[in-house]
């Protein structure tokens, strides 16, 4: 079975049309807010609002792609089916047609349409944030149901109230979800590796679900002076865009050394669009934290497995075609067999228009077993370990 763990439906505001009462309560915001957050949010959050460049100044020049507008040389790619551009109305039947053409059996689908409202509102109105999250989940689940089991909705959660989060996780599992998005940062001062979060990880494994840290949710804290590049916002975008993988590295370290993977041995954390070229270094380096010389500074390591063994058992990452994932075959050789897994990121512009063609070409020299593990076998085993296999 070929199992695509990361794809998207990213409609414009029309996803709210079936929910007029909620739509009437929501503020207007600049549509670039999610892109700005993903590129430079780590820095901008630490800069006083009065000193920040405007969203308009920070908006990437390629927003024509993000918002489904035409651009040069894009017509042919978008013409394959209605709804392929990144911000088009979601079309489950067209997506299934694309899956069939690619030979993909199942696809997990993320919708970030509610995320912009969350950024615009902040933490000022928790009941409204929860309503937005649950409504976006409902919209996505209803859209995916039209594919009769081929599309699985990825659940978004709001983690200020962990009891609410676990209840929503349970509800979305009943609607077909097998993956849910997690933050790579503390919420209300409590990081995801804290025992208070164990209720979330226990619910995940009981329900047969896997948490995903997706780019844009990793968030790091950096000295705000890095954002002081004068009026040249282009340089800020380039500078800040290199931070994505750091959040993934922090989350792995936190989960390993704070015992999350020991307390929840069947938990599998997915890293999506955070790059994978850094994983071999981390895998080689992480056991150095428990050597005798390190213990002089860090104290006695008392977990039963080596850090690299937890990483091999409990962490999976998705490569794309960008340089941070290259050379992909070398990265695979430097990691445990099951650590890299397949995703298309379709139809995002940084993802694949023809993922099976891309990986088919790059993996031509691999044996059939390694290809099968990458394309689905590794993830299917993760769900089987939790006692809820995907058929």
242-298 pLDDT, tens digit per residue, is 566 778 888 999 999 999 999 999 999 999 999 999 999 999 999 999 999 988 888
Report if residue 391 sits inside a domain: no
Q: How far is CA 361 from CA 91, 146, 357, in A?
A: 29, 32, 6
Most confident of 6-10, 272-276, 297-301, 312-316: 312-316
| pTM for this predicted structure | 0.89
Q: What is the pLDDT of residue 251?
A: 92
Share of the chain above pLDDT 90, in %: 62
Please indicate, yes or no, if residue 233 is contained in any of the structural domains.
yes
Single out the residue of 94, 71, 135 nearest to residue 9, CA to CA: 94
Is the residue at 75 inside a domain?
A: yes
Nearest Cα residue to 133 out of 93, 85, 169, 175: 169
Q: C-alpha angle with apex 262: 382 to 177, nearest 5 degrees? A: 35
Tell me, what's the pLDDT at 30?
74
Cβ proximity of 17 and 389 under 8 Å: no
Asked whether the predicted pLDDT for residue 227 surpasses 70, the reply is no
CATH number of the domain that 321 lies in? 3.20.20.140
Q: Provide the pLDDT for residue 44.
A: 81
From residue 194, alpha-carbon distances to 113, 169, 190, 199, 376 in Å are 29, 19, 7, 10, 31
Give how many domains the chain has, as a whole number.
Answer: 1
Q: Which of 75-79, 108-112, 190-194 has the lowest mean pLDDT?
A: 75-79
Nearest CA-CA partner of 305 in 231, 255, 358:
255
Q: How confident is the model at residue 175 (pLDDT cuts 50, 70, 90)?
A: very high
Can you tell me which residue has the tokens 């990452």? 317
Percent of the chain residues past pLDDT 70, beyond the cut: 86
Domain membership of residue 21 (yes or no) is: yes
pLDDT band for 233, please (50, 70, 90 cuts).
low
Residue 390: inside a domain: no
- Residues spanned by the domain of 320: 3-385
Tell me: pLDDT of 389 over 70. yes
The length of the chain in residues reads 391
Please report, in angstroms and rounded to a whole number, the separation of the first and last CA atoms in the chain: 9
- Residues 236, 70: Cα–Cα separation, whole Å: 26
Look at residue 158 and tell me if it is in a domain: yes
Under a CB-based contact definition with an 8 Å cutoff, are residues 177 and 209 in contact? yes
């Amino acid at each position: 079975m070929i199992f695509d763990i990361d794809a998207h439906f990213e409609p414009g505001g029309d996803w709210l049309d079936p929910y007029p009462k909620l739509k009437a309560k929501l503020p207007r915001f600049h549509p670039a807010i999610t892109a700005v957050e993903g590129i430079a949010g780590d820095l901008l959050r630490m800069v006083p609002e009065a000193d920040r460049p405007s969203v308009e100044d920070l908006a990437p020049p390629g927003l024509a792609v993000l918002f489904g507008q035409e651009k040069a040389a894009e017509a042919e790619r978008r013409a394959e089916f209605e709804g392929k551009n990144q911000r088009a109305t979601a079309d489950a039947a067209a997506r299934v047609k694309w899956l069939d053409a690619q030979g993909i059996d199942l696809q997990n689908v993320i919708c970030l349409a509610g995320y912009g409202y969350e950024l615009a509102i902040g933490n000022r109105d928790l009941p409204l944030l929860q309503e937005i999250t649950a409504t976006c989940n409902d919209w996505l689940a209803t859209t995916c149901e039209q594919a009769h089991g081929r599309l699985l909705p990825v659940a978004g959660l709001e983690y200020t109230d962990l009891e609410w989060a676990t209840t929503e996780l349970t509800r979305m599992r009943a609607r077909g979800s097998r993956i849910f998005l997690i933050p790579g940062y503390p919420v209300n001062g409590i990081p995801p590796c804290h025992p208070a979060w164990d209720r979330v990880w226990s619910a995940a494994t009981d329900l047969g679900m896997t948490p995903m840290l997706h780019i844009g949710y990793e968030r790091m804290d950096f000295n705000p002076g890095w954002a002081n590049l004068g009026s040249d916002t282009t340089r800020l975008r380039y500078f800040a865009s290199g931070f994505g993988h750091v959040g993934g590295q922090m989350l792995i370290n936190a989960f390993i050394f704070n015992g999350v993977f020991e307390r929840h041995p069947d938990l599998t954390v997915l890293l999506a669009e955070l790059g994978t070229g850094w994983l071999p270094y981390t895998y080689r380096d992480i056991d150095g934290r428990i050597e005798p010389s390190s213990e002089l500074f860090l104290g006695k390591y008392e977990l039963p497995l080596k850090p690299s063994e937890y990483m091999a058992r409990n962490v999976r990452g998705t490569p794309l075609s960008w340089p941070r994932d290259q050379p992909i075959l070398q990265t695979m050789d430097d990691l445990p067999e099951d650590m890299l897994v397949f995703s298309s990121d379709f139809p995002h512009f940084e993802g694949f228009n023809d993922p099976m063609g891309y990986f088919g070409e790059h993996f031509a020299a691999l044996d059939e077993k390694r290809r099968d593990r990458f394309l689905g076998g590794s993830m299917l085993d993760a769900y089987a370990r939790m006692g809820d296999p995907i058929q």
